[in-house]
Amino acid sequence: MATPLTLKELSKKDLLLTSGHRMCAGCGAPIIVKMVLLASDYPLVAANATGCLEVSTCISDYTAWKIPWIHNAFENAAATLSGVETMYRSLKKQGKIDKDIKFIAFGGDGGTYDIGLQSLSGAMERGHDMLYICYDNGAYMNTGIQRSSATPYGADTTTCPAGSVIHGKPQPRKNLTKIMAAHDIPYTAQASPSHWLDLVKKVKKALDIKGPKFMNILSPCNRGWRSKTNDAIQLSRLAVETCCWPLYEVENGVTKVTFKPKEKKPLVEFLKPQGRFKHLFAPENENMLKNFQEMVDKEWASLLKSAEGGRASGTE
Amino acid sequence: MARKSGRIAAVTGNEAVAEALRQVNPDVSSAYPITPATDIMQRFTSFVSNGKVKTEMILVESEHSAMSGCIGASAAGGRVMTATSSQGLALMWEELFIASGNRLPIVMSLVNRALSAPLNIHGDHSDGMGARDCGWIQLWSENAQEAYDNTIQAFRIAEHMDIRLPVMVCMDGFIISHSIERIEYMEDDAVSKFVGEYKQLNPLLDLGHPVSYGPLILPDYYMEYRKAHDDVMSKVPGIVLNTANDFEKISGRKYGLFEAYRLDDAEIGLVILNSAAGTSKDVIDSFREKGIKAGLLKPRLFRPFPYEEIGNALKNLKAVCVLDRADAFGGSYGPLFIDIASSLYPYKDKPLLVNKIYGLGGRDYMPSHAELVLNELVEVAKTGKVKMIKEYIAVRE
């Protein structure tokens, strides 16, 4: 029987990513992975792109994974998991496996938005029964905070440092969730660890749907965001409440905003606690703050518009 | 030894390899089209579409994903194959090391083709030579029959419990892949009995024993893993020979680590891979008729390279020409020459060596080229002098 999605019931379940892994204190990624694994009542097999999560959870001869897990390389978690899932189908058809297994890939934003986009797009188009989860911390954190196409506008990284001529990343973030929804796959969603119930519900729903699914989950990184170690949940909440990281899903082409803040907070509330945006608060960069707020407003309005045809949205 | 004689057919190299793959009937194949290997997968996917095999196909969006899919499928716990050429193999390069480093018994047909730039779709060995040190086993094939036979044997070799390594089976693009030859096929059950039921080793899909594939291994243990890989490579020649013996019993066709053609009493000899060996053997025969003791050595197991056995087979000759259908840029010799020279290094008395680069990008290799080279070797053997060690032949100056 399916585990009810309550803290009481979920807390009785085994954690399938053990403690003792070597992720940084305060990192969002292992919180997200634990939530994702708790949401499933199916046996799971996971693939992991090269990145923070991968290097920190399986350093030979130790592994933090209590489920079968495969790391291949940086750009190909989706293609690798395609192979695993296809072998599963082949062996199941031949009567060599009888269990229903679900397949999840985990990749950071570098391994998903950038180098792994082709592999992800191909796997989704081919229709493999898998859920791809991007934990988006907005830069190549594992190699030392280099900019990726997920890096937000204006952010200071080690390859787009805030200087006297260029003030952080000049381009806005690529909207990957929209790109994945445009693949017309059965389920695409955006989630945040601050809204844990929304997150686990989405994972559960995704795993119950047959076919390719994609979830983009915001993953605070105190090293790269230059924020306090204990701020991951608070910052991800501010990202949602400022509508910088809207929570929504696209199920069979129908967009639904799953959380609408009662009062949309100004973007600066999310930016201010993060050192990577510090330079934007200098008087000469005022226009950048204005631009950034406009980008967020525009994206939020566009999301609400596309959700108009869908059912009434939930509020918290 | 009683054996049923096989079906005789007139087919291309690609068709022969596709037929071998149908008979082996793998669990999964992940592939991407590229000339001249495409034809293998076109034929194979038609077997899939018509229910002739149980194979599940993954028709990926690049060769990088093709090999990534093979790695995932093989780690999951079943028999896996693919095919590629040239740029496709180059794009897979990163994944080739991951397949072998994880000891996954994937079989890949490599239809040898030149590398860009300039773009060229015809046969040479630059692709396979570029991947010679990636920890895979390489078997090279002179003709369609050898490509067919090597493909079948490759699964037994790859999946052998003492090695578990991926195998690349090479044949020349167009010259063999697209030319029609007479071939003797084996019966379907003979092939399936020969390759046997796939034996899993640490399958990812075993939920009762969850495993982690692809860990991070730092300086404390990385080197031990590399040494273990090297140690395992040293077991390969014995397994290749045992597999060949078993194969001979059911096919009547004999294979070794290399083919020695009229080499026993030879004074001069050619060393050459794949299809050009056939042309060369005819010319060797005509030199023999003239009373010149010429012979030929055609490597079959190119990786791991059987240095001792090949050195021993060549050490008594007076002069040897190694013909390379690929160059190793940087002022060095062709890749095959480098290995042959290494195999002869331990001997005090050894033949004089010359290296000819031929047939790049599909340039024809003619009997006249073999004659030219053999005549030069006669002169080298007589005078004990080599004018130029490395030289391009049949090229405009």
3-state secondary structure of A77: helix
Helix axes B222-233, B86-101, angle to 10 degrees: 110
Q: What is the pLDDT of residue B359?
A: 98
Residues in chain B: 397
Give chain B positions within 8 Å (CB) of A101.
205, 207
Residues B154 and B270 in one domain: no
Domain layout of chain A by residue ranges: 14-307
User: Is A99 an interface residue toward B (CB < 8 Å)?
Assistant: yes
Entry pTM? 0.97
Confidence band of B184 (pLDDT split at 50, 70, 90): very high
Are the Cβ atoms of A70 and B61 closer than 8 angstroms?
Answer: no
How many angstroms away from the CA of B55 is the closest CA of chain A? 7
Residue B256 has a CB neighbour count (10 Å cut-off) of 15
How many angstroms away from the CA of A113 is the closest CA of chain B? 16
**In which region does residue A226 sit, left (phi positive, over 0), alpha (psi from -120 to 50) or beta (all else)?**
left
Of residues B64, B214, B218, nearest to A70 (C-beta): B214
Q: What is the pLDDT of residue B118?
A: 97
Give chain A positions within 8 Å (CB) of B218.
59
Give chain A positions within 8 Å (CB) of B210.
65-69
Cα–Cα distance, B393 to B397 (Å, whole number):
10
User: Is A63 an interface residue toward B (CB < 8 Å)?
Assistant: yes
C-alpha R_g of chain B? 21
Cβ neighbours of residue A1 closer than 8 Å, sequence gap 6 or more? none
Pairing of strands B137-140, B107-112: unpaired
For the record, the structure tokens of A259 come out as 């959380």
Residues B170 and B268 in one domain: no
Are the Cβ atoms of B214 and A72 closer than 8 angstroms?
Answer: yes
Cα–Cα distance, A315 to A257 (Å, whole number):
9
**A138 to A155, A219, A241, B282: CA distances (angstroms):** 9, 8, 18, 65
Are the Cβ atoms of B215 and A121 closer than 8 angstroms?
Answer: no
Residues B172 and B74 in one domain: yes
Instruction: Say yes or no to pLDDT of B331 above 90.
Output: no
| Residue-number span of the structural domain to which B178 is assigned | 7-187+244-251
Q: What is the CATH number of the domain that holds B371?
A: 3.40.50.920
Are the Cβ atoms of A91 and B65 closer than 8 angstroms?
Answer: no
Identify the bridge partners of residue B303 per DSSP, sorted by sequence position: B138
Q: What is the CATH number of the domain that holds B21?
A: 3.40.50.970
Is-contact A58 A69, C-beta < 8 A?
yes
Residue A252 parent element (H or E): none
Residue A25 has a CB neighbour count (10 Å cut-off) of 8
Q: What is the pLDDT of residue B6?
A: 83
Are the Cβ atoms of B65 and A82 closer than 8 angstroms?
Answer: yes
> Which residues of chain B approach chain A closer than 8 Å at the C-beta?
27-28, 30, 54-56, 58-62, 64-65, 68-78, 80, 94-95, 98, 204-207, 210-218, 221
Report how many domains make up chain B: 2
Confidence band of B4 (pLDDT split at 50, 70, 90): low
Q: Which tens digit of pLDDT belongs to each residue from B28-68?
A: 999 999 999 999 999 999 999 999 999 999 999 999 999 99
Residues in chain A: 316
* Shortest CA distance from B27: residue in chain A: A90
Give chain A positions within 8 Å (CB) of B59.
126
Which of A72, A88, A96, A115 to mutate against chain B (most B CBs within 10 Å)?
Answer: A72
Which of A40, A66, A87, A115 to mutate against chain B (most B CBs within 10 Å)?
Answer: A87
* Residue B212 forms part of a structural domain: no
* Shortest CA distance from A51: residue in chain B: B216
Residue B321 parent element (H or E): strand B319-324
Give chain B positions within 8 Å (CB) of A82.
30, 58, 60, 65, 68-69, 72
Q: Which segments of A170-283 does DSSP mark as H helices, in order?
A: 176-181, 196-208, 222-225, 232-241, 268-271
How many angstroms away from the CA of A60 is the closest CA of chain B? 6
Are the Cβ atoms of B207 and A89 closer than 8 angstroms?
Answer: no
Residues B263 and B178 in one domain: no
Q: Which amino acid belongs to residue B348?
A: K
Is the torsion defined by CA of A90, A93, A96, A97 positive or negative?
positive
CB proximity under 8 Å: A 195-254 to B: none
Cα–Cα distance, A127 to B57 (Å, whole number):
13
Q: Which amino acid belongs to residue B165?
A: L
Are the Cβ atoms of B60 and A82 closer than 8 angstroms?
Answer: yes
Are the Cβ atoms of A97 and B205 closer than 8 angstroms?
Answer: yes
Residues B262 and B183 in one domain: no
Pick the CATH number of A14-307 from 3.40.50.11260, 3.40.50.970, 3.20.190.10, 3.20.20.70: 3.40.50.970
Closest among A170, A163, A119 to A149, alpha carbons compared: A170
User: Is A66 an interface residue toward B (CB < 8 Å)?
Assistant: yes
Residues B56 and B183 in one domain: yes
Cβ neighbours of residue A38 closer than 8 Å, sequence gap 6 or more? A10, A13, A15, A16, A200
Enumerate helices (H) and strands (E) in chain B, giving the number of each: 13, 16
Instruction: Say yes or no to pLDDT of B242 above 60.
Output: yes
For the record, the structure tokens of B223 come out as 């080197």
Last residue of a domain, one of B251, B272, B306: B251
* Shortest CA distance from B65: residue in chain A: A79
Per-residue pLDDT of chain A (316 residues; tens, 9 = 90+): 689 999 999 999 999 999 999 999 999 999 999 999 999 999 999 999 999 999 999 999 899 999 999 999 999 999 999 999 999 999 999 999 999 999 999 999 999 999 999 999 999 999 999 999 999 999 999 999 999 999 999 999 999 999 999 999 999 999 999 999 999 999 999 999 999 999 999 999 999 999 999 999 999 999 999 999 999 999 999 999 999 999 999 999 999 999 999 999 999 999 999 999 999 999 999 999 999 999 999 999 999 999 986 544 444 4
Residues B268 and B176 in one domain: no
Residue B322 parent element (H or E): strand B319-324
For the record, the structure tokens of B164 come out as 């578990």
Q: What is the pLDDT of residue A2?
A: 86
Of residues A55, A60, A91, nearest to B205 (C-beta): A91
Is-contact B50 B124, C-beta < 8 A?
no
Angle CA B327–B333–B339, to nearest 5: 100
Residue A87 parent element (H or E): helix A77-93
